[in-house]
Amino acid sequence: MSIMRPEGGWNIARPPVHPGEMLREEFMKPLGISINGLALELHVPVTRISQIVNERRGITADTALRLAQHFGTSADFWMNIQKDYELLLTRQKSLKSIEQQVRRRTVAA
């Protein structure tokens, strides 16, 4: 049995998740790390980690660098999760009005 790649490629798009959900579910829970423990390890205020994990705050570049250093990931990994999440929310909230308000510039031939 073989699996053929579809002509248009694999379309396995997952909806973007809040970076706090990713941090909580994929890193902290499996490793048994508490909010307080992670804040101490990263040398950041407990409120910062608590707000991120509870999805009330996004990831900043500073936090992304600290998470990358601690978990052996890249800062881009964390920033891309944040970017994808923000774009999703903004598209859902504002895309229609932006499309109505902003005219597309065309290049003259």
> Which tens digit of pLDDT belongs to each residue from 39-76?
999 999 999 999 999 999 999 999 999 999 999 999 99
pLDDT at position 107 is 86
Q: Work out the number of other CB atoms within 10 angstroms of the CB of residue 8.
A: 6
Sequence spans of domains, the chain: 19-85
* Other Cβ atoms closer than 10 A to 27: 15
Q: 85-106 pLDDT, tens per residue? A: 999 999 999 989 999 999 998 8
Q: What is the pLDDT of residue 7?
A: 63
Which CATH code fits 19-85? Answer: 1.10.260.40
Whether the per-residue pLDDT at 6 is higher than 70: the answer is no
What contacts 50, CB < 8 A, 6 or more positions away?
A: 35, 39
